């Protein structure tokens, strides 16, 4: 058996796609995760991580011997092997990208939740998968050079634009990258639906305060919603995603006037405000967010909907469920949980509809248990990671809820990322 180390090159026949933007190949019984490849291609791959004793290797396809019919030329000069870590699918045609993502979602649901589901990834409004991104962070190295991070590295690659960014941001990148930026760690760029373009330099090692305020306007079935956000606020990066996701969540939730709705991981209120309007003056909307800056903006954005309240705090804390222990601190045979906080009296004992949009890691088994204990008639889960969706779908099934409609959106073209919105209802007793 030939040993492979970083820098080794080997000819591979590429296998199926896998979660994370790579394909699976095998060499003499060893698994190799190959980026910049497509299924059934024959490639020369260069090992980038791993070696003797590693469970698996990572590699880049640096030469294509037999190309797939779905292969296209990347539009960005730093999108290939050794380049930027952002656009890992620029070598794949747009229809094949969407099929790639659909395959990954279906595989994660099958493996983690025991569900067989045909998945279709829907496009959003963009220019063939380019010029859609409204937020970009430029890293700045010790020499003051600004650019994009190299894949799985702290190295900075200077660029003169970004083909997936909206033109206003590409123009700013071209203006900023020839200059030196001493003492700066990150330059955050944002372009809003109202035409504002923000450029914020964050000093190296300094805590961020959220930055200045921006305005986003989101069209909804109940009229336009104006949201105040901070320059550092989390907000969907595809210019069409806020509209599409609000429409999909409202359609999935089917909130009736007078109902109680719980919006978990609410951010600045992208879903909270439309959900509160759907519940009406006789209903109630409880929005939960842990980030202090986002919570203040959430309360401001809900100010015109008196039926809504913003709760500041972690979702698990407010539900009174045990936090998971931080990694590396499980000593003495512990079960992986730490202290159990008291349930907040402000959390409702029941809800008609629950919407949750957790971070990439998912909502956690104990939070899902607290949600199902509310006995909502509908749960709407917004997921940016298919593996987290698969795991939490399994927990929801354990709690008596079955997945109904599942919609997947190509909110991050040219990358392996995808957004899903799933509806769950109580299984028949």
How many whole angstroms separate alpha carbon 393 and alpha carbon 403? 7
How many whole angstroms separate alpha carbon 302 and alpha carbon 349? 22
How many whole angstroms separate alpha carbon 292 and alpha carbon 210? 10
Instruction: Return the beta strands (E) in 52-183 as ranges.
Output: 56-66, 121-123, 135-140, 146-149, 156-157
Phi, psi for 142 (deg, rounded to 5) = -65, -20
Phi, psi for 353 (deg, rounded to 5) = -135, 135
Identify the helix (H) or strand (E) that includes residue 294. helix 292-301
In this structure, the dihedral spanned by the alpha carbons of residues 109, 115, 117 and 122, taken in order and rounded to 10 degrees, is -40
Phi, psi for 31 (deg, rounded to 5) = -85, 135
Write the CA distances from 230 to 107, 219, 294, integer angstroms. 37, 20, 8
Give the contacts of 358 (CB within 8 A, at least 6 positions apart).
264, 265, 315, 367, 383, 388, 392
How many whole angstroms separate alpha carbon 407 and alpha carbon 268? 23
Q: Are 238 and 230 in contact (CB under 8 A)?
A: no
Determine the straight-line distance between the first and last CA of the chain, rounded to whole angstroms: 56
| Token pair recorded at residue 343 | 């349930």
- According to DSSP, the residues that pair with 370 across neighbouring strands are none
Q: Is the four-CA dihedral 333, 338, 343, 346 of positive or negative sign?
A: negative
**384: annotated active-site residue:** yes
Q: Is the four-CA dihedral 402, 407, 408, 411 of positive or negative sign?
A: negative
Q: Are 378 and 423 in contact (CB under 8 A)?
A: yes
| Token pair recorded at residue 69 | 């019919």
Catalytic residue among 84, 162, 384, 420: 384
| Token pair recorded at residue 394 | 């399994």
Active site members: 384
């Amino acid at each position: 058996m030939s040993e492979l180390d970083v820098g080794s090159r080997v000819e591979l026949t590429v296998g199926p796609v896998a979660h994370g933007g790579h394909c699976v190949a095998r060499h003499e019984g060893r698994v190799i995760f190959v980026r910049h490849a497509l299924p059934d291609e024959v490639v020369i791959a260069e090992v980038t991580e791993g070696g003797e004793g590693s469970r698996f290797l990572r590699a880049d396809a640096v030469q294509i011997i037999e190309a797939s019919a779905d292969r296209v030329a990347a539009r960005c000069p730093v999108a290939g092997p050794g380049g930027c870590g952002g656009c890992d699918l620029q070598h794949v045609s747009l229809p094949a990208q969407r099929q790639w993502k659909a395959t990954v979602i279906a595989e994660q649901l099958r493996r983690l939740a025991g569900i067989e589901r045909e998945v279709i990834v829907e496009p959003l409004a963009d220019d063939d998968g380019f010029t859609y991104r409204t937020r970009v962070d430029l890293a700045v190295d010790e020499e003051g050079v600004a650019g994009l991070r190299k894949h799985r590295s702290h190295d900075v690659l200077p660029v003169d634009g970004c083909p997936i960014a909206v033109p206003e941001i590409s123009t700013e990148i071209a203006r900023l990258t020839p200059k030196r930026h001493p003492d700066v760690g990150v330059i955050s760029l944002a372009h809003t639906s109202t035409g504002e373009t923000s450029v914020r330099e964050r000093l190296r090692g300094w805590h961020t305060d959220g930055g200045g305020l921006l305005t986003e306007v989101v069209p909804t079935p109940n009229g336009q919603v104006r949201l105040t956000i901070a320059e550092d606020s989390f907000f969907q990066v595809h210019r069409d995603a806020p509209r599409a996701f609000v429409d999909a969540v409202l359609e999935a939730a089917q909130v009736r006037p007078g109902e109680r709705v719980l919006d978990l991981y609410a951010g600045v209120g992208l879903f909270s405000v439309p959900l509160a309007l759907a519940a009406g003056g006789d209903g109630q909307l409880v929005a939960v967010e842990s980030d202090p800056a986002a919570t203040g903006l959430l309360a401001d954005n809900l100010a015109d909907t008196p039926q809504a309240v913003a709760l500041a705090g972690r979702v698990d804390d407010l539900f009174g469920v045990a936090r998971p222990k931080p990694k590396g601190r499980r000593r003495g045979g512990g079960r992986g949980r730490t202290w159990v906080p008291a349930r907040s009296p402000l959390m409702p004992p029941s809800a008609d509809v629950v919407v949750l949009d957790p971070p990439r890691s998912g909502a956690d088994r104990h939070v899902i248990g607290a949600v199902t204990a509310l006995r909502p008639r509908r749960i709407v889960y917004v997921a940016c990671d298919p593996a987290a969706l698969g795991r939490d779908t399994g927990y929801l099934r354990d709690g008596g809820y079955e997945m109904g409609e599942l919609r997947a959106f190509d909110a991050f073209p040219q990358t392996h990322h995808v957004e899903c919105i799933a509806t769950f209802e109580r299984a028949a007793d």
